[in-house]
């Protein structure tokens, strides 16, 4: 049962041919929210590509569609038109279940507002992605501790999120996002709620991880300083990309 | 119904109305003084449709249960008294010879019919006494010539046509009144039941046999069964009825010229109210009848009393109705308690959901009182709605219970629904007041938010008590408030002197506990004793919590102490005071609550241990399952080894094996199916992280399951006793004759005379007499007055019963055989049947309380027996108790050998013959054959098994009804799980989104919800079943029922059904919300605030 599952989900994800360097390809992505009689065009034809191992920053004013973009290309949300390919596979062709499994194995998430389960301790939160992908409990715990150690919170492993500061919580989230050694890490304002010193520490950590493991980072930020430390920076306004610069 | 627990219903209603008014005023005052908060609360209602519905369902349960209890009581009361009026009609009072025995048939005491005229002259007036009605009622055998159907025993009722017509006559079944005066001497007005069993219609010719002499009578019409037409038979639903003829005809046919045997008295007024002046009339007539002049008028030497026939019947109806209501209310208390917990939880959850909102409100300056007001307003609207829904639902529930169980299943046709406004008002107000109180208390709790914690959305830390200044104002207020001690104390100590609340609660708790233990002996109350013992550790724990002793340790210890106290089969009261204290139904409730509290405490504070079962990946994967499998095997093995010994202890071991078996299965499943791990992780994390909510839900479930399981086990144990050996008294068929039967005394020769082949299948016959209406009994050397009780002569054959026929025998006798030998051959030795020693079990006013059977033995007791007619008496020693489980009607009495009986009561008239058949004859068929052969002689035969089954079926009807009623409580538990699951989905929306984002499949999310409910339900069910079974076991091994002779038995089928059904319903109830959880759209949930 588990083996068959492996096949189905991993086979289509393997990169094909010579385009291995492009892990994310987005073309003319359109997303419209409809609630009640109201329609909000959050994405109006966004196209973009991300290379494997790249650190991409997305900036833009509030409400410009950054979170929406992240949700759509990470497979958390559906889109209305356009196409998204992750590692050469068209998202639209994957079933809900396949997308979920892919997320569990190959993606890490840092959300804008809500990240940790209050009922679990830090280390339990970190090991969740391993638990869902069927890792042995003992191994999961070891890797989760290692990951916590990397973000400098090994001593807080047993604490509940409620007992941690905002910055510490964010670091636990990062530990969780990295614990399954994902291909892509999505981060929606990972430093938004933090002071500039802590934000700087976290950025350094991310850069270090990016350098060591060659993971791809897609990061939304309001902080120009942080944006400047990435490989490339795109700006959004009203659901379209208005500028793009490599740094 | 006029009274409940001795308090007039009107007072209850007024009190509740007043409380209701106070609650109403409270809410109105909120509206007036703080309309913003009021609207803020009420607005919440409309925001969520489905949830509001669930909340109303949860809140209405208390009302539903009280309404059902009252309505059922009212219905029973109304139906029985209505039946009483219909059967008695104008007969308010009756002359009687030995006391209140009117409901027993067969009284054969006669007096002069001339007494009627004499009494009429003397007492009948225009104000109080309207007239006398003389009757001569004789059991006779009847055959309907047209249909060939026969009845061995119907009541032939001789009536004085003129007097009966004056007092309303007889009612024709087709409507209208029969013209009794127009009856010809050979005509009969047959009662409805007799007509049915003979398939007779007007014009049929019947043959009536009295003492073998046949006469023919013609059916003039069919009338209702009432006292004047079918005597006492009118009161028996399954009786064969009777028929009215002219007094002179019956006197002549039965050879009782110039005699009557029943004289009733009609008072002025209408049928339903005339009896209210019974006492006045008795005071007028009885002294005369007891004077020598009166005795001369009656022409009898036997002392006479005047019995308030109708008033007694009405009182009995009221008592029966009351019994139902009380029983329902007490059993319903479990459900009401669970309902109160549910209400509390609903409000805590509503508050939790709005924590941030409340925190903000507090931060921007709302007072705690304001928040409470808002909650109370919301709660009150809910309770008003829920009260109305609950009252309606309660009426429906009660009417269905009554019609399904009593009318259809039980065959009690006379039941007619009755709903009284007063009962509805009481139930509605009670429901609303209970809800209101709970809402107020929970509002108080939830308004105590820690502002910072609420805004940060973190777990709440209890605020550290601050050292306060003495507030003399509160001290001053506290002193006069001491008239309500708890309030005064609280204000003075807590608010005035700033003493930490633990230091107020704990000493008061300990003091109350100690006081209650001390008072218990004096008040002879087991309830007070146990309550006191349980209060002490609970209060001490509050103090321990104050000093930050580990909560886990404290509460686990309290739980362990309480369960040790409640579950150990030791009567601590007996150990301490040297005698057992009195306790009844209230102990059932208290033990349930305490056992549930103790189990719940131990479970929620040690649930981490349980999670070890399902954690995989640790070194020895199968350790947990192996340990549990071993325990299961050990429990099973010792259960088998113990067998029947230990009063059902073996069964408890099987139960233990079941529990560890379930544990083993769960542990094994967790190891074998690793992909369950993610769901298990969440399914356990949530209940563990919220002890309060988990504990409340477990307790609620547990409480209901406890009540159902305990009740079931108690009944099953009694039922298994009934069907146990000896229940049939050692006989197969009972043949009943009456005083107008021929050859009843010698069954075998009667059968031979009739050429009945069944005669050869009879192995043995034993004979006994029946109640003659003359014997009275009291405990020898006692001060009590002797009261009516059958003294029965038994022939030698009856006194040679096989081993196992006695429920107990006197110390000093080797075995049962020795007892029978002694009674048969000795003198002044007696047996009694079981109904004589059990309180309220026989139809007479006598209970032999001094006789207590322990381990089949007792200390002999002496009785003094009197013949009321001759005044002769004798003293006998009771040395054995018959184990027969037949209905008391057939068995109640003091059994003597023939010589002793004759010495005091004269020649015995053996009217009951007990038949033992050979092994290959079916008792049912034999009874049929015997009755077929002897019906014309007036003999009736029934198989003992059949009689036992009828009795069991009847009590089963009631038990089923009670269980059906308690099952309503399961609704509470299930509604609770539904409410919780729905609320959890809402509360955890973001968390679900997050889990889904990081790779939880929708199915896994759904499964984790199911596992969570499953875990809670399983814990609740297991603790309820285990607690219930242990308590029931103790009742039979050392408690209340220890002397009943019944052995504890677990009704496995029933227990499995209760456990399985509640588990299944719990899962079913979670299924829907868990689907909702699975369907949560990820991206949107992550944005959800
Ligand atoms: N569920 C929804 N229904 C309707 N409109 C929505 C919904 N979610 C987002 N929007 C709208 O879509 C637009 C894009 O929102 P999005 O959250 O992507 O912005 P953002 O760039 O992440 O802003 P911020 O920097 O404030 O986080 C906004 O105008 C927002 O109001
Ligand atoms: Mg955003």
Of A104, A138, A162, the CB nearest to B999: A104
**A111 touching B, CB under 8 A?**
yes
Q: Which atom of ligand 1 is nearest to the CA of A112?
A: 27
DSSP annotation of A230 reads S
- What is the arithmetic mean of pLDDT over B485-489? 67
pLDDT of B612 reads 72
- Where does the pLDDT of residue B159 fall: very low under 50, low under 70, confident under 90, or very high at 90 and above? very high
CA A64 to chain centroid: 18
d(CA B850, CA B862): 10
pLDDT of B878 reads 94
Exposure pattern of B884-914 as b/e (b: 16+ CB <10 Å)?
bbbbbbbbbbbbbbbebbeebbeebbbbbbb
Span of A197-206, B452-461, B778-787, B819-828 with lowest mean pLDDT: B452-461
Which protein residue has the closest C-alpha to ligand 1 atom 22? A67
Q: Which residues on chain A are in Cβ contact (under 8 Å) with B690?
A: 119
Helical packing angle, A166-179 and A122-132, nearest 10°:
20
pLDDT of A4 reads 35
pTM: 0.78
**B827 touching A, CB under 8 A?**
no
DSSP track, B958-1015: HHHHHHHHHHHHHHHHHHHHHHHHHHHHHHTHHHHHHHHHTT--HHHHHHHHHHHHHH
- What is the arithmetic mean of pLDDT over B60-71? 84
Tell me the CA distances in angstroms from B911 to B110, B218, B768, B880, one per residue in order: 19, 29, 7, 23
H-type alpha helices, B772-920: 816-825, 834-837, 888-891, 898-905
Tell me the CA distances in angstroms from B67 to B35, B317, B436, B475, B576, one per residue in order: 33, 19, 17, 44, 42
DSSP track, B445-490: HHH---HHHHHHT-PPPPPPPPP----HHHHHHHTGGGGSHHHHHI
Ligand 1 pocket member A113 (CB < 6 A):
no
pLDDT of A16 reads 44
- Where does the pLDDT of residue B356 fall: very low under 50, low under 70, confident under 90, or very high at 90 and above? low
The answer on pLDDT for A206 being more than 50 is yes
Residue entry with tokens 């997303």: A31
The answer on pLDDT for B1089 being more than 60 is no
Binary contact (B686, A2; C-beta < 8 A)? no
Ligand 1 pocket member A239 (CB < 6 A):
no
Tell me the CA distances in angstroms from B518 to B504, B506, B526, one per residue in order: 21, 18, 11
Number of domains in chain A: 1
Residue A74: closest CA among chain B residues belongs to which residue? B997
Strands B150-159 and B242-246 turn out to be parallel
Residue B764 CB coordination number (10 Å): 17
The answer on pLDDT for B749 being more than 50 is yes
Token duo for residue B122: 């003397």
Binary contact (B994, A134; C-beta < 8 A)? no
C-beta of residue B491 within 8 angstroms of C-beta of residue B474: yes
The answer on pLDDT for B187 being more than 90 is yes
Tell me the CA distances in angstroms from B473 to B362, B468, B476, B498, B679, one per residue in order: 26, 13, 5, 12, 56
d(CA B700, CA B977): 10
Residue entry with tokens 């309480």: B562
Residue A180 CB coordination number (10 Å): 25
Domain membership of residue A8 (yes or no) is no
d(CA B93, CA B106): 19
Span of A152-156, B468-472, B901-905, B924-928 with lowest mean pLDDT: B468-472
- Where does the pLDDT of residue B68 fall: very low under 50, low under 70, confident under 90, or very high at 90 and above? confident
What's the A65 CA to ligand 2 centre distance in angstroms? 7
C-beta of residue A42 within 8 angstroms of C-beta of residue A31: yes
Q: Which residues on chain B are in Cβ contact (under 8 Å) with A42?
A: none
- What is the arithmetic mean of pLDDT over A169-178? 88
Cα distance from A247 to chain B (closest Cα, Å)?
Answer: 31
C-beta of residue B236 within 8 angstroms of C-beta of residue B412: no
Token duo for residue B601: 């405490």
The chain-wide mean pLDDT, for chain B, equals: 83
pLDDT of A10 reads 39
Ligand 1 pocket member A40 (CB < 6 A):
yes
Domain membership of residue A36 (yes or no) is yes
Token duo for residue B337: 């308690």
Tell me the CA distances in angstroms from A59 to A68, A224, A228, one per residue in order: 13, 8, 11
Widest Cα–Cα separation across chain A: 51
Q: Phi and psi dihedrals of A147, rounded to 5?
A: -65, -40
Token duo for residue B21: 């008014």
What's the B194 CA to ligand 1 centre distance in angstroms? 86
d(CA B306, CA B970): 50
Ligand 1 pocket member A216 (CB < 6 A):
no
The more confident residue out of B465 and B678 is B678
pLDDT of A120 reads 87
Which protein residue has the closest C-alpha to ligand 1 atom 17? A67
The more confident residue out of A96 and A17 is A96
List B794's β-bridge partners, or say none. Answer: B768, B897
- Where does the pLDDT of residue B438 fall: very low under 50, low under 70, confident under 90, or very high at 90 and above? confident
C-beta of residue B741 within 8 angstroms of C-beta of residue B938: yes
The answer on pLDDT for A2 being more than 60 is no
Q: Which domain holds residue A170?
A: 22-242
Ligand 1 pocket member A61 (CB < 6 A):
no
Q: CATH code at A234?
A: 3.40.50.300
**A128 touching B, CB under 8 A?**
yes
Q: Which residues on chain A are in Cβ contact (under 8 Å) with B618?
A: 137-138
pLDDT of B1022 reads 92
**B1000 touching A, CB under 8 A?**
yes
**B515 touching A, CB under 8 A?**
no
Token duo for residue B211: 């003492």
- What is the arithmetic mean of pLDDT over B555-578? 85
pLDDT of B767 reads 92
Domain membership of residue A15 (yes or no) is no
- Where does the pLDDT of residue B98 fall: very low under 50, low under 70, confident under 90, or very high at 90 and above? low
C-beta of residue B59 within 8 angstroms of C-beta of residue B386: yes
Domain membership of residue A156 (yes or no) is yes
- Which of B274, B300, B285 lies closest to B122, judged by CA? B285
- Alpha carbons within 13 angstroms on the beta-carbon side of residue A222 total 13
The answer on pLDDT for B400 being more than 80 is yes
pLDDT of A18 reads 41
pLDDT of A114 reads 64
What's the A66 CA to ligand 2 centre distance in angstroms? 6
pLDDT of A247 reads 76
Binary contact (B685, A117; C-beta < 8 A)? yes
Strands B829-833 and B873-882 turn out to be parallel
pLDDT of B620 reads 57
**B615 touching A, CB under 8 A?**
yes
Per residue in A67-108, pLDDT (tens digit) is 899 989 988 888 999 999 998 888 889 888 888 888 888 888
The more confident residue out of B743 and B219 is B219
Binary contact (B990, A114; C-beta < 8 A)? yes
Exposure pattern of B144-183 as b/e (b: 16+ CB <10 Å)?
beeeeebbbbbbbbbbbbebbbebebbbbeeeeebebeeb
Strands A81-86 and A22-35 turn out to be antiparallel
Q: Phi and psi dihedrals of B858, rounded to 5?
A: -150, 165
Token duo for residue B1009: 């919800």
Domain membership of residue A228 (yes or no) is yes
pLDDT of B725 reads 55
CA B1016 to chain centroid: 30
Residue A136 class from Cβ within 10 Å (0-12 exposed, 13-18 middle, 19+ buried)? middle
Domain membership of residue A17 (yes or no) is no
**A163 touching B, CB under 8 A?**
yes
Q: Phi and psi dihedrals of B838, rounded to 5?
A: -100, 135
List B129's β-bridge partners, or say none. Answer: B267
The more confident residue out of B969 and B529 is B529
pLDDT of B460 reads 46
d(CA B142, CA B368): 83
Q: What percent of chain B has pLDDT over 90?
A: 20
d(CA B693, CA B345): 7
Token duo for residue A80: 């209305």
- What is the arithmetic mean of pLDDT over B101-105? 54
Token duo for residue A212: 């060591």
pLDDT of A19 reads 47
**B928 touching A, CB under 8 A?**
no
How many helices (DSSP H) and strands (DSSP E) are in chain B?
A: 38, 28
What's the A54 CA to ligand 2 centre distance in angstroms? 21
d(CA B743, CA B267): 42
d(CA A149, CA A175): 8
The answer on pLDDT for B770 being more than 70 is yes
Count of residues making up chain A: 247
pLDDT of B461 reads 47
Span of B60-69, B874-883, B998-1007 with lowest mean pLDDT: B60-69
The answer on pLDDT for B246 being more than 90 is yes
Q: Which atom of ligand 1 is nearest to the CA of A38?
A: 4
Helical packing angle, B677-689 and A122-132, nearest 10°:
150
- What is the arithmetic mean of pLDDT over B424-432? 88
pLDDT of A13 reads 42
Per residue in A20-35, pLDDT (tens digit) is 578 899 999 999 988 7
Which protein residue has the closest C-alpha to ligand 1 atom 12? A42
Domain membership of residue A115 (yes or no) is yes
Q: What 3-state DSSP class applies to B318?
A: helix
Residue A104: closest CA among chain B residues belongs to which residue? B999
**A100 touching B, CB under 8 A?**
yes
Domain membership of residue A6 (yes or no) is no
Q: What percent of chain A has pLDDT over 90?
A: 20
Residue A69: closest CA among chain B residues belongs to which residue? B1083
The answer on pLDDT for B457 being more than 60 is no
Cα distance from B458 to chain A (closest Cα, Å)?
Answer: 5
Per residue in B591-618, pLDDT (tens digit) is 888 999 999 999 988 887 777 776 655 5
């Amino acid at each position: 049962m588990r083996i068959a599952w492996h096949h189905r989900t991993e086979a289509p994800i393997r990169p094909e041919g010579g385009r291995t360097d492009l892990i994310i390809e987005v073309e003319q992505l359109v997303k419209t929210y409809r609630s009640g009689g109201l329609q909000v065009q959050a994405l109006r034809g966004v196209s973009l590509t991300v290379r494997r191992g790249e650190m991409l920053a997305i900036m833009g004013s509030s409400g410009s569609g950054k979170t929406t973009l992240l949700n759509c290309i990470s497979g958390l949300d559906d889109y209305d038109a356009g196409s998204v390919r992750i590692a050469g596979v068209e998202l639209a062709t994957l079933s809900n279940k396949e997308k979920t499994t892919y997320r569990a194995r190959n993606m890490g998430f840092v959300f804008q507002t809500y990240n940790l389960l209050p009922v679990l301790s830090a280390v339990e939160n970190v090991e969740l992605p391993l638990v869902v992908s069927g890792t042995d409990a003992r191994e999961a715990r070891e890797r989760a501790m290692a990951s916590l150690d990397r973000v400098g919170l090994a001593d807080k492993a047993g604490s509940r999120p409620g007992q941690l500061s905002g910055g510490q919580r964010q670091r636990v989230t990062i530990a969780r996002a990295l614990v399954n050694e994902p291909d892509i890490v999505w981060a929606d304002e990972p430093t938004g709620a933090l002071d500039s010193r802590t934000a700087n520490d976290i950025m350094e950590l991310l850069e270090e991880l990016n350098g060591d493991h060659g993971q791809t980072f897609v990061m939304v930020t309001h902080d120009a300083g942080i944006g400047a430390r990435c490989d490339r920076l795109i700006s959004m306004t009203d659901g379209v990309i208005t500028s793009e610069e490599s740094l | 119904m006029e009274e409940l627990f001795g308090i007039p219903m009107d007072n209850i209603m007024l009190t509740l109305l007043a409380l209701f008014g106070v609650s109403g005023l409270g809410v109105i005052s909120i509206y007036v003084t703080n309309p913003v908060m009021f609207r803020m609360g009420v607005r919440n209602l409309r925001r969520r449709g489905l949830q509001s519905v669930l909340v109303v369902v949860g809140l209405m349960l208390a009302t539903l249960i009280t309404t059902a209890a009252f309505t059922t009581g009212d219905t029973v009361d109304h139906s029985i008294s209505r039946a009483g009026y219909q059967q008695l009609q104008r007969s308010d009072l009756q002359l009687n010879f030995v006391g209140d025995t009117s409901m027993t048939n067969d009284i054969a005491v006669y007096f002069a019919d001339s007494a009627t005229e004499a009494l009429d002259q003397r007492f009948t007036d225009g104000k109080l006494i309207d007239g006398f009605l003389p009757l001569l009622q004789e059991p006779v055998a009847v055959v309907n010539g047209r249909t060939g159907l026969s009845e061995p025993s119907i009541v032939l009722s001789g009536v004085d046509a003129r007097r009966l017509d004056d007092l309303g006559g007889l009612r024709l079944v087709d409507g209208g009144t029969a013209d009794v005066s127009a009856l010809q001497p050979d005509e009969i007005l047959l009662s409805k039941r007799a007509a049915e069993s003979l398939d007779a219609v007007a014009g049929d010719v019947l043959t009536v046999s009295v003492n073998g002499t046949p006469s023919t009578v013609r059916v003039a019409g069919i009338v209702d069964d009432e006292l004047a037409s079918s005597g006492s038979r009118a009161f028996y639903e399954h009786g064969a009825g009777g028929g009215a003829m002219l007094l002179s005809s019956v006197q002549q046919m039965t050879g009782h010229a110039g005699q009557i045997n029943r004289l009733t008295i009609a008072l002025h007024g209408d049928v339903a109210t005339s009896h209210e002046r019974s006492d006045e009339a008795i005071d007028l007539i009885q002294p005369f009848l007891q004077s020598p002049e009166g005795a001369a008028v009656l022409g009898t030497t036997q002392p006479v009393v005047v019995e308030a026939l109708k008033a007694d019947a009405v009182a009995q109806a009221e008592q029966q109705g009351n019994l139902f209501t009380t029983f329902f209310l007490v059993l319903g208390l479990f459900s009401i308690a669970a309902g109160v917990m549910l209400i509390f939880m609903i409000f805590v959850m509503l508050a939790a959901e709005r924590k941030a909102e409340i925190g903000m409100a507090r931060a921007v300056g709302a007072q705690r009182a304001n928040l409470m007001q808002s909650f109370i307003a919301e709660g009150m609207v809910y309770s008003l709605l829920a009260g109305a829904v609950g009252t309606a639902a309660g009426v429906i529930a009660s009417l269905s219970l009554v019609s399904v169980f009593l009318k259809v299943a039980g065959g009690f046709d006379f039941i007619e629904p009755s709903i009284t406004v007063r009962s509805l008002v009481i139930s509605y107000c009670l429901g609303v007041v209970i809800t209101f109180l709970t809402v107020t208390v929970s509002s108080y709790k939830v308004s105590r938010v820690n502002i910072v914690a609420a805004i940060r959305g973190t777990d709440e830390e209890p605020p550290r008590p601050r050292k306060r200044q003495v507030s003399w104002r509160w001290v001053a207020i506290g002193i006069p408030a001491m008239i309500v001690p708890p309030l005064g104390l609280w204000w003075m100590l807590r608010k005035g002197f700033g003493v930490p609340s633990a230091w107020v609660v704990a000493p008061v708790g300990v003091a109350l506990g100690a006081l209650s233990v001390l008072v218990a002996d004096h008040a002879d109350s087991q309830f007070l004793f146990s309550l006191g013992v349980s209060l002490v550790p609970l209060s001490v724990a509050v103090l321990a919590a104050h000093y930050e002793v580990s909560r886990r340790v404290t509460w686990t210890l309290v739980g362990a102490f309480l369960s040790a106290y409640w579950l150990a089969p030791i009567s601590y009261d007996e150990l301490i005071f040297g005698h057992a204290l009195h306790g009844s139904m209230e102990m059932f409730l208290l033990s349930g609550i305490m056992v549930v509290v103790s189990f719940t405490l131990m479970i929620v504070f040690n649930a981490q241990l349980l999670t070890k079962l399902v954690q995989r990946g640790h070194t020895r994967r199968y350790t947990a399952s192996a340990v549990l499998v071993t325990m299961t095997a050990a429990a099973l093995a010792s259960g088998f080894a113990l067998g029947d010994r230990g009063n059902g202890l073996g069964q408890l071991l099987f139960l233990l094996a079941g529990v560890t078996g379930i544990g083993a299965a769960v542990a094994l499943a967790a190891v074998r199916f690793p992909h369950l791990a993610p769901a298990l992780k969440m399914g356990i994390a949530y209940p563990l992280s919220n002890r309060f909510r988990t504990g409340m839900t477990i307790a609620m479930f547990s409480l209901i399951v406890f009540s159902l399981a305990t009740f079931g086990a108690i009944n099953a144990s009694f039922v298994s006793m009934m069907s146990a050996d000896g229940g049939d008294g050692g006989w197969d068929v009972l043949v009943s004759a009456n005083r107008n039967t021929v050859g009843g005394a010698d069954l075998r020769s009667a059968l031979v005379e009739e050429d009945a082949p069944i005669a050869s299948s009879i192995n043995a016959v034993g004979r006994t007499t029946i109640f003659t209406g003359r014997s009275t009994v009291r405990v020898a050397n006692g001060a009590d007055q002797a009261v009516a009780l059958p003294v029965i002569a038994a022939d030698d054959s009856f006194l040679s019963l096989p081993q196992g026929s006695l429920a107990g025998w006197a110390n000093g006798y080797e075995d049962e055989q020795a007892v029978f030998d002694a009674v048969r051959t000795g003198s002044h030795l007696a047996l009694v049947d079981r109904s004589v020693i059990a309180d309220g079990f026989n139809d007479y006013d006598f209970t032999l309380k001094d006789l207590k059977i322990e381990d089949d033995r007792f200390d002999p007791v002496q009785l003094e027996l009197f013949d009321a007619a001759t005044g002769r008496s004798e003293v006998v020693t009771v040395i054995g108790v018959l184990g027969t489980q037949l209905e008391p009607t057939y068995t109640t009495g003091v059994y003597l050998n023939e010589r002793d009986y004759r010495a005091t009561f004269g020649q015995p008239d053996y009217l009951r013959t007990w038949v033992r058949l050979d092994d290959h004859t079916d008792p049912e068929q034999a009874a049929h054959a015997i009755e077929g052969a002897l019906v014309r002689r007036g003999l009736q035969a029934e198989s003992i098994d059949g009689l036992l089954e009828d009795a069991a079926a009847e009590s089963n009807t009631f038990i089923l009804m009670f269980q059906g009623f308690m099952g309503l409580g399961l609704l509470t538990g299930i509604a609770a799980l539904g409410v919780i699951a729905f609320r959890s989905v809402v509360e955890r929306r973001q968390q679900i989104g997050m889990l889904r984002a990081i790779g939880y499949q929708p199915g896994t999310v759904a499964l984790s919800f199911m596992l969570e409910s499953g875990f809670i339900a399983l814990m609740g069910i297991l603790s309820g079943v285990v607690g219930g079974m242990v308590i029931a076991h103790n009742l039979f091994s050392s408690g209340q029922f220890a002397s009943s002779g019944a052995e504890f038995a677990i009704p496995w089928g029933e227990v499995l059904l209760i456990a399985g059904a509640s588990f299944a319903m719990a899962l079913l109830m979670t299924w829907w919300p868990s689907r909702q959880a699975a369907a949560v759209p990820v991206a949107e949930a992550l944005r959800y605030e």
